[in-house]
Amino acid sequence: MIGNLVDAFPQLTNVQPIDLPPLNYFRPAAVRIEIEPLTADLRFWAFVSVTNNETQHVTVITPQ
């Protein structure tokens, strides 16, 4: 478990929202997470949950 991505990966502090000028809209920055097994035959299942610190809204993201 990684409780705070920025603490674990400080380089993420530089990730900025994406400006979409024709719509005058900022889309939140996207981060791709890839998980590699430590051993070749290891099987795993993963998901991500994200909590908005202001609204406490929780979003669960599953593999696709």
Give the sign of the dihedral formed by CA 7, CA 8, CA 13, CA 17. Answer: negative
- What is the three-class DSSP state of 61? strand
Given a contact cutoff of 8 angstroms between Cβ atoms, the answer to whether 43 and 52 are in contact is no
What's the rounded Cα separation, in Å, for the pair 57 and 50? Answer: 8
Convert the pLDDT of each residue in 14-58 to its tens digit.
887 777 777 667 767 777 778 888 888 888 888 888 888 889 999
Q: What is the pLDDT of residue 62?
A: 85
Given a contact cutoff of 8 angstroms between Cβ atoms, the answer to whether 27 and 18 are in contact is yes
What's the rounded Cα separation, in Å, for the pair 42 and 57? Answer: 33
